[in-house]
Amino acid sequence: MNCLLTGINGFFGKILFKHICLSNNVFGLSRSRSDFNFLLEKEIPDFNLQFDLVIHAAGKAHSIPKTNLEKVEFYQVNVVGTQNLLEGLTKSGIPNFFVYISSVSVYGKDFGSEIDENTPLGAVDPYGLSKIEAERIVSLWCKEHDVVCTILRLPLLVGPSPIGNLGTMIEGIQKGFYFNIAGGKAKKSMVLAEDVAKSILKIAQIGGIYNLTDGYHPSFAELSDYLSIQLGKDKPMNLPFWLARVLAKFGDLIGSKVPLNTIKLKKITSELIFDDTKARRVFGWNPTPVLVGFLVKKQ
């Protein structure tokens, strides 16, 4: 197949490319250093080529916006960028299959368990709202043009040189200043990026909306202990909940720049588990647990 992969130079895009290029002609779209260099939020791409499969992995990643401009960027990149991509595809030729890489953030949940695809989309933050709108746009476009549509709602993606919270945890463990709060008992959903990449061609031909997780949902303590052993570091220390609560109250007074406040404390100590039963039933999703498959290199 001729495949278009947007965000090919990103963390997940690089992993996707490694797998789908084995038996397909893969063309990348990115801001630079790819087959098609476009700023999707600002321009409609001219492909002069028709694709069989499109995987839309480009987008502005989840972060806490500090300014109104950063809030607007989520809409521009994730919504307008998706609209422009679809318009470009409409002009160059409609693909048979379209995969949109979304996020469990669309549910708007900071805690809970057994959150499945039927859970109402309750996000109110700029990132979650932009993903909801992008999902809607993709679904309508695929329906209008009779394209097999797949939407993958992913939790924390785990892979080589991870970014975001996992990268911060690894750095903290390496430098000896990471610690768990209240025993680190809260379980969180995550998934190996490699597993998603290996399955994506199969999923694309079936279509549907799916949560994908590793099925085990490790706790902070389990994950940090696992990483510490690999890195040859001591087991992380524990911060008692009462002390964390005092620090969080102090953080509420100081402002958003502090590492801990009441909202962050609640997220850290609350379980957040997503249900991937649908994927297991529909296409035999059988992932590797993160605590088995994730190998972090010493730096």
At residue 257 the predicted structure's pLDDT band, cuts being 50, 70 and 90, is: low
- Which of 175-184, 201-210, 249-258 comes out lowest in average pLDDT? 249-258
Give pLDDT, residue 196: 98
- Which of 55-69, 105-119, 193-207, 279-293 comes out lowest in average pLDDT? 55-69
Average pLDDT over residues 96-119: 97
Where along the chain do its domains lie? 2-161+190-214+272-287
Give pLDDT, residue 152: 98
The sign of the torsion formed by the CA atoms of 107, 180, 257, 154 equals negative
Which two tokens mark 63? 């972060």
- Which of 22-26, 127-131, 280-284 comes out lowest in average pLDDT? 22-26
Which one, of 9, 119, 106, lies nearest residue 57 by Cα?
9
Superfamily of domain 2-161+190-214+272-287: NAD(P)-binding Rossmann-like Domain (3.40.50.720)
265 φ/ψ angles, rounded to the nearest 5 degrees: -65, -40
Give pLDDT, residue 68: 81
Q: In this model, does residue 259 exceed pLDDT 80?
A: no
Q: In this model, does residue 256 exceed pLDDT 70?
A: no
Q: In this model, does residue 299 exceed pLDDT 70?
A: no
Give pLDDT, residue 298: 46
Residues facing 29 on adjacent strands: 6, 36
pTM of the model: 0.93
Q: Which residues contact 7 (CB under 8 A, 6 or more apart)?
A: 13, 29, 30, 56, 57, 58, 59, 101
